[in-house]
Structures are given as structure tokens and as C-alpha cells.
Amino acid sequence: MPSYFLIPLLSTALILIYIAIHCIYTRGRIDPTTDPDTPVSVNYFPYRKCNYRCGFCFHTETSSYILPIAQAKRGLRLLKQAGMRKLNIAGGEPFLNPKFLSQILQYCKEELGLESISIVSNGSKIREDWLERHAKWLDILAVSCDSFNPGTNKKIGRGADGENVTRLFQIATWCRNYGIKFKLNTVVNVHNWDEDMTIQIQELAPFRWKVFQCLIVGGENDNETRKTDARKFLVTEEQWQTFCRRHKHLESYVPEDNKSMASSYLLLDEYMCFLDKGEGMVTKSESILEVGVKEAMKQVVWDKKSFVERGGIYDWSRPELYMPQQSSYCNGSIGSVKLEKLKW
């Protein structure tokens, strides 16, 4: 065979070898089963205070404690060293303490180099100027929206001004403008199970729409003595399935029933203790600040198989072509660059 045929063949072979090695390496890093003690993705609740009173909330304001920022950073560094790649900040309402939130975002991106940071918010306190300043450190912004009907939102406890939907569309636009992935969370409950959200979801175009079945957590929302009593918000299996069938054709739709949620999330509270919200009463580990990450993880149940099966690993990074200091993508067209879905 002439030598000029060998060069492209060798080049192709080298490329294929590189791709194979890259896929093996990447999948090994992604799959948490390669190391049972690897906290790949952590949901951090830095404080419990919230300005809404959602009647089914399973992480209620039973404490007003906020960890000193230096201790919070130390705990996050321990998690990074143990293998954390993604941090999801929830609450409470994270935007009630924007300074703490800003410090955590900057530290986790610039010092720890986390692959992805997301925030879950009720949307009431998010401002465009804050997003503009912090977009370079934030990969995903998820907003909770249980209805597009103001009256239904009031019944649920999501504010009283009826402006949730207006704010939601504003936030979705800001996220597109600043290159932040927009995500939507919805809890299916007795007040919204028969609502058709198709048109609004298509207009908002979230990259993921997480649809949760209303959940009872012992010690949090399981009876009238708690801050919330979610029993009166529960849906039947048929109501849950009806909502799912109505929306399953939407590309962004990601459903999670009670079985999928139980023990598949690695939860970290305001004291940096892992929470076990599986069956029965909520239990917690000792703080990772006192015993370390691996020892604390042994004290709770985290079902890594369920974590993977429910889609806990996905394309969670921002588009690399987005330049935070600019107001558009490199080609000048916001939204024209689409990341291909990764196959794990």
C-alpha cells in the first residue's frame, strides 16, 4: 500500500483510540459505583429560612442556623476532595442570603473548580443584576413552579401576590441572556394534578423539567404538629399517572415518583450533616466537619443505583462557547448553540 494512504489511516486510528480512551475515562469518573464512597452530586441546604409557605414542603424552617462562611468552605473542600463534581444549593430560599450565596458560588468555581453548580429557588428574590454579576459561576438555575394559575399557587402557599408566572418568564429570559441553563421543578399535588402545562412549558423551554410526586417525610411534613402537613396535598397513583401521561411527550420532562426519590439524593443540611430521608423518620449523620465525608456517608443510606437510574447524571455543564463577559454566544446568536445530550 502506498505510503500516502497510510497517513490518513493512521490519523483515523489514533483519533478512534483517543475517543475510546476518553469515553472509558469519562464514564469511570461519572459512574459513582466505581467508588461507593464518592459523593458525585450533593444537594446542600445551607439554611432553612423561606419566604413562602408551601403546604407540602419536606425541608421546613425548623432551624435558623447559618454556618460561618469559613466553615462552609471547609466542608465544601472536603466534599470536593472526596469526589464531589456537582453542587446543588437549595433551601429554604437561597436568595434570602445573597452574600453567602455569592461567596459559595465564587469559591466553588474559582477555588474548587467544580464542574457544575446549580441553585433551586422559588424565584421571588432573583434579580437580573445579580445574575449578570454571578453568571460566570452559575451553571444551572432551577425555579420551582407548581402552577400557571395564580389562584392555585396561592392555595399551595407559593406567595400571595400572584406574580409568580410573570417572574418565571423573566427569569427564563435572563438565563438565556447570560448563558445559564434554565431548569423547572414542579411538585404534583392535589391542587394541580389536573392542570395542563404543555403550552407554558414549551414557551419557557427549560432544558430539564423535573416533575415530583408530592412526598411525605417523617419528622418534617407528616402530621399536623409539623410546620407543614403534606398529607392533605397527596395525590392518588391515578392522579399522578394522569399528570405524567399528559406531559410525557415534552422533551424536557423528567418525572420522579416517591419510590425514585427515596434515598436517591445525597442531602447535606445547614450543619453539614447528611440527611437520610428514605423510609420512616428523617435521620442524620454526624457533621462532615467533625468526622469527615466517608465516615458521615456510612451513617446514612444513599442508593447510588437509584441515583443513576433516576437520571442523576446528565449534561450539567454550561455551553463552553459562552463567554461570561459577553452578552451573546460567540456566533452572536443566543440560543443557537445546542449541546448534544451526553450518553452515559
Domains of the chain: 34-309 (3.20.20.70)
Per-residue model confidence as pLDDT tens for the chain (344 residues): 555 444 444 444 444 444 343 333 343 344 544 555 689 999 999 998 999 988 888 876 777 899 999 999 999 999 999 999 999 999 889 999 999 999 999 999 999 999 999 999 999 999 999 999 999 999 999 999 999 999 999 999 888 888 899 999 999 999 999 999 999 999 999 999 999 999 999 999 999 999 999 987 777 777 777 877 779 999 999 999 999 999 999 999 999 988 777 677 899 999 999 988 655 556 889 999 999 999 999 999 887 887 888 888 888 888 664 444 433 333 333 333 333 332 32
Residue with cell 424565584: 123
Q: Are the C-beta atoms of 183 and 142 separated by less than 8 Å?
A: yes
What whole-number distance in Å separates Cα of residue 9 and Cα of residue 91? 55
- 274 CB burial (10 A radius; 0-12, 13-18, 19+): buried
Q: Which one-letter DSSP state was computed for residue 148?
A: S
Q: How does 177-205 read in b/e, with b if 16+ C-beta sit within 10 Å?
A: bbbbbbbbbbbbbbbbbebebeebbeebe
Closest to 185 in 3D by CA, of 265, 130, 113? 265
Q: Which residues are catalytic?
A: 50, 54, 57
What whole-number distance in Å separates Cα of residue 91 and Cα of residue 105? 15
The cell numbers describing 30, all together, are 461519572
